[in-house]
Chain A
């Protein structure tokens, strides 16, 4: 069983950056492909990208290219999502999620990021 615990809520000003962490237990990070998904208030789920531990590369949808960076630290079994140039539309709950195959079997509890001046 994989357990994902995310860092706490953040409040940021427009133009700033935010880094959200996701600590893994039950499996090692190198055995998992960690994904990030966000959900704006009252909106649906939006996939932000994934980090492939096999080649150390991340892939991102066009929507987030150039603004999001996914990294991992195997020494702390933690994955990170860094989003830059924040704007009000980035106010959302951010989730890390992973699974054995193509599905997201396990989710973190979510981290609320509020962007406000």
Chain B
């Protein structure tokens, strides 16, 4: 049963601390997306990658957020320094876009990381 996995599931930290969230996309998928869900904004796209290359991170506050894919099986989202307004659930999703084509738009989501910054 192929699934997107995310760690940690919950994180409580203090303002100013660094937070790293990890995502393992479904094996064989070549696109990875990071979303943030808040009560006020719903699901917001923060960044996405294709074949490990960042395609768009315009939804991300650049001064404190960074997203990387060190390899095809791991995506990371870092916040440094964290602030209380970063408290949200962060979802990772993956999908498959065939080379040379647009492919499916279906994205498969992980269970999320619930972040609380005090």
Instruction: Determine if chain A interacts with chain B.
Output: no
Query: Which A residues form the contact surface with B (CB < 8 A)?
Result: none
